[in-house]
Amino acid sequence: MSHFFLMTVYALLVSAFFCVLWKRDRRGQIKLFLQLFLGLVGGGILAAWLMYPFPAGPPTPFP
Amino acid sequence: MSDGSATDQITEASSLARRAWQAAVAAWLVPGAGHLLLGRKRRAAAFLVIVMSALVIGLALDGNLYRVEPDRPLTLLLTLGSMGLGGPYLFLRFVAGYSGQVVAPGFEYGSAFIVTAGLMNMLLVLDVLDIVRGRKE
């Protein structure tokens, strides 16, 4: 399991939760899900890219 | 005439408060149970699957089931967030004795999943209260 995979699963669950909580119609749910999911994953990648020049240390390997 | 109407209003308010209380407790104890009580079966099933998936993934990664540590004030907030899980939190902490493994590679991720599951369930409790009080469909 990679860090990216876990982040994607996390984004998936959070997006699914809020789209069911906040929207009733199927179309609105799909739209909100995509907005949240892409925002979370894209935001994560953007934050990682911004932090890339400033490494904190060696990455922790996942088994 | 007006006495009867006032009595009806008090009875109705009392019934509403009791219904809200029951739904909120059910929602806290079992994710999705509050929505099930209110007849939202599909949403209840979706919430149960989502919240329990987050919890199970957190447990599989050996995440922390937070408890208050006096020298770390932020653990109070994290504990409150985790306690939002209700029944599963009580079971894991007091019956199963689960606490997570700080040396596990997925400890931080797992802790985030568990706290998120608790926070999501808290939002479900608030959602149920809104539905009972007529602020939401």
Cβ-count burial B98-117 (b if 16+ within 10 Å, e if not) = bebeeebebbebbbbbbbbb
Residue B51 CB neighbours (<10 A): 27
pLDDT tens digits along B59-110: 999 999 999 999 888 999 999 999 999 999 999 999 999 988 888 888 999 9
Name chain B contacts of A3, Cβ cutoff 8 Å. Answer: 109
Partnered with residue B126 across adjacent β-strands are none
Q: Which of residues 13-52 of A touch B (CB under 8 A)?
A: 13-14, 16-17, 20-21, 24
Name chain B contacts of A13, Cβ cutoff 8 Å. Answer: 50, 53-54, 57, 113, 116
pLDDT tens digits along A15-41: 999 999 999 999 999 999 999 999 999
B24, B28, B30, B36 alpha-carbon torsion, rounded to 10°: 20
What's the complex ipTM? 0.86
Q: What is the mean pLDDT of chain B?
A: 91
CA nearest to B128 within chain A: A21
B113: helix, coil or strand?
helix
Say whether pTM exceeds 0.90. Answer: no
Q: Does the pLDDT value for residue B12 go beyond 60?
A: yes
